[in-house]
Amino acid sequence: MNLQQLAILAAISTTVLYKFGFGYDIKFLKHNYASIVVRRMAIDDFLVQKLDSIKRSYDALTERLADPDVVNDRVQSLSISRERSSIEKTVLLYEDWRILESEKSDLIELDQSGDSDTELREIARAEIKEIVKKQEDIEKEINLLLLPRDPNDDRNVMLEVRAGTGGDEASIWAGDIVNMYRKYAESQGWKVSPVSETEGEFGGYKTCIIQITGDYVYSKLKYEVSSKR
């Protein structure tokens, strides 16, 4: 179906457009007509099937974690937990998207109902626009999460901080940097272990090496190679 055909449908009835809804934004105008802005939706039929498959895998992994044999096997339990954790955010975002999609369908039905007054339809249309914006934000996040992952993303790291030129002030600054990373690691639920450190004369560190372990540490710290000023 081309744009011209869709434009004709829009002039006849917005209800028809909703049946073709995937892939198009509907902008409401006067007299209940609609203009069409072509925009490929981030979540199309193919992606819905993929996300449904991810959701099924997530549910299956959740069930396995409750299996007594898995509970008593620490290695297997940890492996399943990590696999489940790797797709959990995608699943939760998809569930939010589906809730919004259901709410949008109800509002569309309300707008097309002959029993609704003009004011109620205007409210429904305003809410539809808000929902579409929320869905767009979710779709962007989901698409990022579905990008191919760096195979090293789930690795732990050794983090080294060295004081630069500047004497005691540089050592104190290096100490602040180390504390910053420790607090960040704590907020992520990671474990920090000291490996080697040389303290400055008036506090801080001339050098400090710490090991950070946890879920997807490298994925969040791999771009931290730089000089801090």
Q: What does the domain layout of the chain look like in residue ranges? A: 41-145, 157-221
Q: In whole angstroms, what separates CA 189 from the centre of its chain?
A: 18
Contacts of 203 (CB under 8 A, 6+ apart): 168, 171, 172, 175
Q: Give yes or no for a contact between 182 and 191, defined as CB atoms under 8 angstroms apart.
A: no
Q: Which of 202, 159, 197, 201 is nearest to 181 (CA)?
A: 159
Q: Give yes or no for a contact between 24 and 37, defined as CB atoms under 8 angstroms apart.
A: yes
Q: Which residues pair with 211 in a beta bridge?
A: 158, 193
Query: Residue 212: which H helix or E strand, with range?
Result: strand 205-213
Per-residue pLDDT, 119: 84
CATH class of the domain defined by 157-221 = alpha beta
Q: Which class for 26: exposed (0-12), middle (13-18), buried (19 or more C-beta within 10 A)? A: buried
Question: What's the rounded Cα separation, in Å, for the pair 188 and 184?
Answer: 6
Per-residue pLDDT, 154: 84
Q: What is the DSSP letter of 149?
A: P
pLDDT tens per residue, the chain (229 residues)?
444 444 434 443 333 333 333 343 444 433 343 333 333 345 778 889 999 999 999 999 999 999 999 999 999 999 999 899 989 999 999 999 999 999 999 998 888 876 667 888 888 889 999 999 999 999 999 998 898 888 888 899 999 999 988 788 999 999 999 999 999 999 999 999 999 999 998 899 999 999 999 988 998 898 887 665 5
Write down the pTM of the prediction: 0.59
Q: In whole angstroms, what separates CA 86 from the centre of its chain?
A: 11
Per-residue pLDDT, 7: 41
Question: What's the rounded Cα separation, in Å, for the pair 224 and 203?
Answer: 23
Per-residue pLDDT, 193: 96
Q: Give yes or no for a contact between 181 and 205, defined as CB atoms under 8 angstroms apart.
A: no
Per-residue pLDDT, 5: 44
Phi, psi of 159 (to 5 degrees): -110, 125
Residue entry with tokens 């099924």 = 56
| Identity of the amino acid at 116 | S
